[in-house]
Amino acid sequence: MKAWLFIVLNLPIIWITIPSLKNPQKHGFYRFFVFEGLLLLILNNLEVWFQNPFSVYQIFSWGFLLLSLGLAVYGFYYLRYMGKPQGSFENTTQLVTAGVYRYIRHPLYASLLYLGIGVFLKSMTLSSAGILLAIGAFLYATGRVEENENIRHFGQAYIDYMKTTRMFIPGLF
Nearest to 16 by CA among 36, 46, 44: 36
pLDDT digit string (tens) for 73-132?
999 999 998 998 887 778 889 999 999 999 999 999 999 999 999 999 999 999 999 999
Cβ partners under 8 Å of residue 23, min gap 6: 29
Q: What is the pLDDT of residue 33?
A: 95
CA distance linking residue 20 with residue 29, whole number of Å: 5
Query: Residues with Cβ < 8 Å from 44, sequence gap 6 or more?
Result: 2, 123, 125, 127, 128, 131
Amino acid identity of residue 72, one-letter, is: A
- Residue 173, pLDDT score: 54
Among 7-11, 51-55, 156-160, the range of highest mean pLDDT: 156-160
Closest CA to 141 of 16, 29, 41: 29
